[in-house]
Chain A
Amino acid sequence: MAVMEKMTRASSGGMISGRTMFCHLDAPANAISVCRDATQVVVAGRNIFKIFALEDEGFVERLNLRVGRKPSLNFSCADVMWHQMEENLLATAATNGAVVTWNLGRPCRNKQEQLFTEHKRTVNKVCFHPTEVHMLLSGSQDGYMKCFDLRKKESVSTFSGQSESVRDVQFSMKDYFTFAASFENGNVQLWDIRRPDRYERMFTAHTGPVFCCDWHPEDRGWLATGGRDKMVKVWDMTTNRAKEIFCVQTIASVARVKWRPERKWHLATCSMMVDHNIYVWDVRRPYIPFATFEEHKDVTTGIVWRHQHDPDFLLSGSKDSTLYQHMFKDASRPVDRANPEGLCFGLFGDLAFAAKESLMSGEVGRKPYAGGDRRYPIFFFKKPDVTEQFAQVSSALSVFETAPGGAPMDWFIKTARRYLLSGRPFAELCEHNAKVAKDLNRPQVSTTWTMLRIMFSDPANPSSSSNHNLSKLGNLPLMNSFSMKEMSSALTERNKENRQDNIHNLDSNLNTTEDNEETEGSEGQAEYLFGDAELDDDDLYSMEHENQAAEEAEFSLPQEAFPLRHEIVDHPSAPEPLTEKPESPHVSGSEAEATCLTPMESFSLISVSSSLLFPPHLPPAFFSPVVIAMLRYYAEQGDVQMAVSVLIVLGDRIRREIDELTQEHWYMSYIDLLQRFELWNVSNEVIKLSTCGAISCLNQASTTLHINCSNCKRPMNNRGWICDRCHQCASVCAVCHHVVKGVFVWCQGCSHGGHLTHIMDWLRNSTYCPAACGHQCEYT
């Protein structure tokens, strides 16, 4: 017998030929099956039941089994199977619960042979015994499996899964008596066909329904299962406990799984929803499909390998009413298109990077990745495997660690902690924040704060600073900076001495402008820095700063800028005494005094003249576009902290100019960052200060505290101190025996407590509980 089988295998295996082809069906298919010699395929669905011949050039319809004027529900097939021994015999599972067998050898048009209506619910699956001619197994929604002897009119045995619906039943290829059944509740059961009273073994394979299972055609112990949880698992059943040996994660629930003939590690899957492709997986490479067939336009409902010893032909039917024959050589190979590079940040700012080895070795010297201080190259090599044609990929993984001590986000945390967002006059806030930024060596941010202060607190002097701001943002063409020079010279002429400070200010502004242009053009310098960075630890440290500056500001400041800059940022501290002088002509409303005024009162006149020079028709609103551009710039740079802080500090001055959604987005990002760094207080402050509705309501979620009554142990409803049910005062102070209506402090050990002050007093003198329960309470 076995020898004969081998021979037929050999002869027929060589004969199959064909190409990728398809034909239209009239209706969606639910299942397909092929006859043993691989020459014909049967397609079954709710409204279709046809046999097609597989010719070299295409599918040819052979037979329509759906006959009769008013087709009965018995034709509405959920599953179909062609007998693998008897070429005229087919079985279908009908949605109304009927199991039907068909004999193609019948002379009349109606080929229906037998009808079993024993199941009460939809039959999901039928399965012929692989070697026994007359044995048919069915699994139904009603939770029963039935074994039919086709020579009899009724089932010979009924197996009760004692659980929910049966989704699939499969006879073992090698064990004559064994079959596997998969269930909607995630279990898989193994049964001995001779013992209908109890399953041999059961295990939970998936969470949620197991839609399909398939025995390995060669390996006796392997069972593949696919479930709604989007996984395909391969189980080794030879051991005492079913052991999961492989697991493939797909992107959608798995409707069918079929081992690929002649390829030990390969199996094909298709999905039930959303995903229309057929995948062939190598179970040892679970992260990427070995091959995919992407022809179908709707979900694939049935897949079957055309011949049980030929791995190159796959047939599939689909809801899109087509029947396909796929040639394996035409399959697309995702691995060819896959991008073998990966990049990932670690929890502590480490950076891991994997790339093809060839790529890496060529570029090791160049070091294109910033932020890396040390390199720990780790090389992984895939073991070469001759049996599979999976593209060999060996990639190198590099992990970049940050230097110990110099956490790259330090500045973020410090800034978040030290920034002041409210509670003081606007100018002071700006000043403070500028100072913080300066301390943390972030000159650009610091300058921005200073500029903001100047722009929004003094109507007299804003023009120069705004220009500076513009040029800094790169919004201003070069021409403008020339005109600014002219302007500054004009200024210098008119109030040469008096406005020394301001000129200083302006000059330095101009300097920074030029510097900016300079550095932006010279990127080579920055790269050189990175290249250098590897040399030793001292260098590393300095690079850290450079690096930071580059990250934040996109340009790094050359050395000569620093002394000047120093003066700028120092400047704000000068006018502080002035803010106390109410007689100053420029005090406006609640705003703090203009900071750029010279500290002597007598000069106020001159400053008026300067305000005439730059007439006051430049209200703060004039700067809004610039400030908005600045905020966007920072946000785009990834410094959402700056954007949000400025937004809060400026408050109404700018809020209405930026659309709500953007603001919300910034707030969310910043709050998210703050919470990641566990800066809860800051994050709460930000939420509180935000003006976006969606943000401020964040603080209002889960603010409820539930308490139970201390007498009846029921939840307290309305008030915290009196229980509705037992009408007792629940929270009585153990010291003064009055009801506590405010803060109630209690011991977690003995649950006695009372007024905060009373308990504090008590425990200062005694170590025991005031309620005299004998517990040694502690107040910390």
Chain B
Amino acid sequence: MNSSTDICNNCRAALREKEKGMKVPQHISSGPSSFIPESEILEAMPLGDHTVMLLAEEFSGRMDNLTQVMGLHPHYLQAFLRCQYYLLRMDGPLPLHYRHYIAIMAAARHQCSVLVCQHVQEFEQIGVCSDWLRGLEHCPQRIRNLNEINKILAHRPWLITKDHIQALVKTGEHSWSLAELVHAVVLLAHFHALASFVFGSGINPDPEVAEVTGVADDLCPPAVSGICSCHLTNNGRANDSSPGNTNVGSELEVLMERMKRLQEEREEDEASEEEMFTRFEKEKKESLLVGSGGFDNNKVVPPSPVARFVDDPSFGYQDFARHGEDNLPTFRAQDYSWEDHGFSLVNRLYSDVGHLLDDKFRTACDLTYYNMASHEGVDTSMLRRALFNYVHCMYGIRYDDYDYGEVNQLLERSLKVYIKTVTCYPERTTRRMYESYWHQFRHSEKVHVNLLLMEARMQAELLYALRAITHYMT
């Protein structure tokens, strides 16, 4: 009964959105993802190798939608699952129910009900402190103290300072130990980034999750697809081929051409210092204009069942660049890098997780099939690096040795809109955005893009958080 009213609310909210001229995520009626046809995903499944199957202990037999979509890249999936399994289930500083609750808090920041439901269910299975699920005010102060860094990391990680760390760690009744804090931070970053992936790939809620009983009933409306009229009207794929498709042929060629040219040009391109600087600034500034146009940034999020896990819901993304350079110095990647600094800190405080994260980042960054759409034998490293660095650029992280002009050349505007939406406010991702870029590319390639965005985002959050912890420690 509860759930039916919720759906009506959903519908109403959806209609409201539509009146504003926005699209809400449309659901293909079934399958793991609402963006990707089920057949594509099932096709890829045979790739799943044995190790992945072993790791599927997570999923009590059935793989959830998220895993199925990620299964398009089994090599990565393996690293991902291993890492997530370690974070959630293996020995660590935090008790198990804390971990899931933190996951819920993190996912709730982006109103990602797929992840929230999943972890509400897991939390219930542990069977302790189930009243926490009634909302933040029912959980201990100690956990509530995390709210501050949760919201900062989720939306504006560059604002985190050692004072935040100090406030959490300083001795007192509700204090966190550094090891616990690092565990919590890694969990937060992991689930913020995962929310990006979920929205970016249009993951559908898992059907079983709906069977949850008890306090969390209203959290997880039974699989939204099919019941609600707004989804029924939109679930056809007829209108998929948007008008942009007419010139798709050239689009890919242009991109390939540009990559080739950049590769050749590199030798003689002698951009001056100032030039490089302006290019970075330009990308930073441009990211400002991209995307968020249609949204009122301060708009109050409509109350949803997930909102009970969110504190200060009005705190949202704000552009890094908007604040000007004087009060927010650019983060120099060379001064605090994951490989040199982040890894050592994480591994010191929460043993072995560094290796798993390292493996995950590395797998995501190095993953390539030497394919681009229909072309084979293409070196995509340049494109991958552009994607990765563009995300970091939006978070104010600059690589001295990267020419941000490349970003401009390689990433078309619609892709930039998509990237910005998925990384900064993933809950606003729509199917149209997903479909508006790279028309000729395969779905698996778009999922690959999402993986890169997710890892880049996670690393950016981690770098800011770990730098703050390092500052606190020295």
Q: How far is the CB of A141 from chain B (nearest CB, A)?
A: 7
Residue B236 interfacial (CB < 8 Å)? no
| CB contact under 8 A between A228 and B344, given known A704-B60, A706-B57 | yes
- The residue on A at minimum CB distance from B344 is A273
Residue A62 interfacial (CB < 8 Å)? no
Residue B374 interfacial (CB < 8 Å)? no
| Bound CA–CA A218/B383 (angstroms) | 48
Interface residues on B, range: 35 or more
Task: Give the residues in chain A near B358, CB-CB below 8 Å.
Answer: 208
A residues 74-110 near B (Cβ < 8 Å) are 74, 76, 78, 94-97
A residues 712-751 near B (Cβ < 8 Å) are 715-718
A105-120 interface bits toward B, Cβ cutoff 8 Å, 1 = contact, 0 = none: 0000000000001011
Residue A297 interfacial (CB < 8 Å)? yes
Residue A515 interfacial (CB < 8 Å)? no
Task: Give the residues in chain B near A297, CB-CB below 8 Å.
Answer: 474
B residues 360-408 near A (Cβ < 8 Å) are 400-401
| Bound CA–CA A73/B330 (angstroms) | 14
| CB contact under 8 A between A697 and B126, given known A70-B273, A141-B401, A297-B474 | yes
Contact: B127 with A706, CB < 8 Å?
Answer: no
Contact: A697 with B53, CB < 8 Å?
Answer: no
B201-227 interface bits toward A, Cβ cutoff 8 Å, 1 = contact, 0 = none: 000000000000000000000000000
Task: Give the residues in chain A near B126, CB-CB below 8 Å.
Answer: 697, 700
Contact: B339 with A184, CB < 8 Å?
Answer: yes
Task: Give the residues in chain B near A700, CB-CB below 8 Å.
Answer: 125-127
Q: How far is the CB of B205 from chain A (nearest CB, A)?
A: 17
Residue A252 interfacial (CB < 8 Å)? yes
Contact: A706 with B56, CB < 8 Å?
Answer: yes
Residue A276 interfacial (CB < 8 Å)? yes
Contact: B127 with A696, CB < 8 Å?
Answer: yes
| Bound CA–CA A701/B53 (angstroms) | 19
| Bound CA–CA A73/B271 (angstroms) | 12
Residue A253 interfacial (CB < 8 Å)? yes
Contact: B344 with A272, CB < 8 Å?
Answer: yes
Contact: A273 with B470, CB < 8 Å?
Answer: yes
Contact: B274 with A70, CB < 8 Å?
Answer: yes
| CB contact under 8 A between A96 and B276, given known A696-B127, A701-B96 | yes
Task: Give the residues in chain B near A483, CB-CB below 8 Å.
Answer: none
Residue B332 interfacial (CB < 8 Å)? yes
Task: Give the residues in chain A near B474, CB-CB below 8 Å.
Answer: 276, 297-299
A residues 430-451 near B (Cβ < 8 Å) are none
Residue A67 interfacial (CB < 8 Å)? no
| Bound CA–CA A96/B334 (angstroms) | 9
Contact: A716 with B128, CB < 8 Å?
Answer: no
Residue A702 interfacial (CB < 8 Å)? yes
Task: Give the residues in chain B near A73, CB-CB below 8 Å.
Answer: 273, 276-277, 400
Residue A693 interfacial (CB < 8 Å)? yes
- The residue on A at minimum CB distance from B355 is A208
> Residue among B56, B344, B355, B474 with the most chain A CB within 10 A?
B344
Contact: B61 with A697, CB < 8 Å?
Answer: no
Residue A121 interfacial (CB < 8 Å)? yes
Task: Give the residues in chain B near A718, CB-CB below 8 Å.
Answer: 61-62
| CB contact under 8 A between A273 and B127, given known A70-B274, A72-B273, A704-B57 | no
Task: Give the residues in chain B near A119, CB-CB below 8 Å.
Answer: 401
| Bound CA–CA A253/B277 (angstroms) | 32
- The residue on A at minimum CB distance from B341 is A273
Residue A775 interfacial (CB < 8 Å)? no
Contact: A96 with B400, CB < 8 Å?
Answer: yes
> Residue among B126, B340, B358 with the most chain A CB within 10 A?
B340
Residue B343 interfacial (CB < 8 Å)? yes
Task: Give the residues in chain B near A211, CB-CB below 8 Å.
Answer: 340
Task: Give the residues in chain A near B332, CB-CB below 8 Å.
Answer: 46, 95
Q: How far is the CB of A95 from chain B (nearest CB, A)?
A: 4
Task: Give the residues in chain A near B129, CB-CB below 8 Å.
Answer: 693
Residue A753 interfacial (CB < 8 Å)? no
| Bound CA–CA A702/B274 (angstroms) | 58
- The residue on B at minimum CB distance from A94 is B400
Task: Give the residues in chain A near B60, CB-CB below 8 Å.
Answer: 704
Task: Give the residues in chain B near A272, CB-CB below 8 Å.
Answer: 340-341, 344
| Bound CA–CA A253/B337 (angstroms) | 14
| Bound CA–CA A701/B99 (angstroms) | 14
> Residue among A228, A272, A696, A718 with the most chain B CB within 10 A?
A228
Contact: B62 with A717, CB < 8 Å?
Answer: yes
| Bound CA–CA A594/B395 (angstroms) | 73
Q: How far is the CB of A27 from chain B (nearest CB, A)?
A: 11
| Bound CA–CA A70/B276 (angstroms) | 13
Of A97, A253, A717, which is within 8 A of B61 by CB? A717
Task: Give the residues in chain B near A94, CB-CB below 8 Å.
Answer: 400
Residue A122 interfacial (CB < 8 Å)? yes
| CB contact under 8 A between A697 and B57, given known A73-B400, A273-B348, A298-B474 | no
Residue B335 interfacial (CB < 8 Å)? yes
Residue B473 interfacial (CB < 8 Å)? yes
Residue A161 interfacial (CB < 8 Å)? no
> Residue among A97, A274, A297, A701 with the most chain B CB within 10 A?
A274
| Bound CA–CA A231/B89 (angstroms) | 30
Contact: A95 with B401, CB < 8 Å?
Answer: yes
- The residue on A at minimum CB distance from B58 is A704
| Bound CA–CA A566/B128 (angstroms) | 45
A194-215 interface bits toward B, Cβ cutoff 8 Å, 1 = contact, 0 = none: 0000000000000011010000
Contact: B266 with A120, CB < 8 Å?
Answer: yes
| Bound CA–CA A702/B91 (angstroms) | 13
Task: Give the residues in chain B near A299, CB-CB below 8 Å.
Answer: 474
Q: How far is the CB of A460 from chain B (nearest CB, A)?
A: 40
| Bound CA–CA A706/B55 (angstroms) | 11
Residue A694 interfacial (CB < 8 Å)? yes
Q: How far is the CB of B109 from chain A (nearest CB, A)?
A: 26
Q: How far is the CB of B405 from chain A (nearest CB, A)?
A: 14
Contact: A697 with B97, CB < 8 Å?
Answer: yes
- The residue on A at minimum CB distance from B269 is A117
| Bound CA–CA A121/B355 (angstroms) | 24
Of B128, B270, B335, B473, which is within 8 A of A46 by CB? B335
A residues 289-328 near B (Cβ < 8 Å) are 297-299
Residue B44 interfacial (CB < 8 Å)? no
A668-698 interface bits toward B, Cβ cutoff 8 Å, 1 = contact, 0 = none: 0000000000000000000000000110110
Contact: B334 with A122, CB < 8 Å?
Answer: yes
Contact: A74 with B335, CB < 8 Å?
Answer: no
Q: How far is the CB of A294 from chain B (nearest CB, A)?
A: 14
| Bound CA–CA A297/B334 (angstroms) | 21
Contact: A96 with B401, CB < 8 Å?
Answer: yes
| Bound CA–CA A693/B358 (angstroms) | 34
| Bound CA–CA A414/B126 (angstroms) | 32
B residues 51-106 near A (Cβ < 8 Å) are 53, 56-57, 60-62, 89, 95-97
| Bound CA–CA A702/B53 (angstroms) | 16
Task: Give the residues in chain A near B62, CB-CB below 8 Å.
Answer: 715, 717-718
Residue B345 interfacial (CB < 8 Å)? yes
Of B61, B343, B470, which is within 8 A of A716 by CB? B61
- The residue on B at minimum CB distance from A185 is B362
Contact: B348 with A252, CB < 8 Å?
Answer: yes
Task: Give the residues in chain A near B401, CB-CB below 8 Å.
Answer: 95-97, 119-122, 141
Q: How far is the CB of A80 from chain B (nearest CB, A)?
A: 15
| Bound CA–CA A593/B400 (angstroms) | 83
Q: How far is the CB of B30 from chain A (nearest CB, A)?
A: 15
Q: How far is the CB of B215 from chain A (nearest CB, A)?
A: 15
Q: How far is the CB of A406 from chain B (nearest CB, A)?
A: 35
- The residue on B at minimum CB distance from A28 is B335
Nearest 9 Cβ contacts at the A-B interface: A693-B128, A72-B273, A95-B400, A717-B62, A273-B344, A96-B400, A717-B61, A95-B334, A97-B401
25 residue pairs of the A-B complex, CB under 8 angstroms, read A46-B332, A72-B272, A72-B273, A73-B277, A76-B334, A94-B400, A95-B401, A97-B401, A120-B401, A122-B334, A252-B348, A253-B344, A272-B344, A273-B345, A273-B348, A274-B470, A274-B473, A694-B95, A694-B97, A697-B126, A697-B127, A706-B56, A715-B61, A715-B62, A716-B61
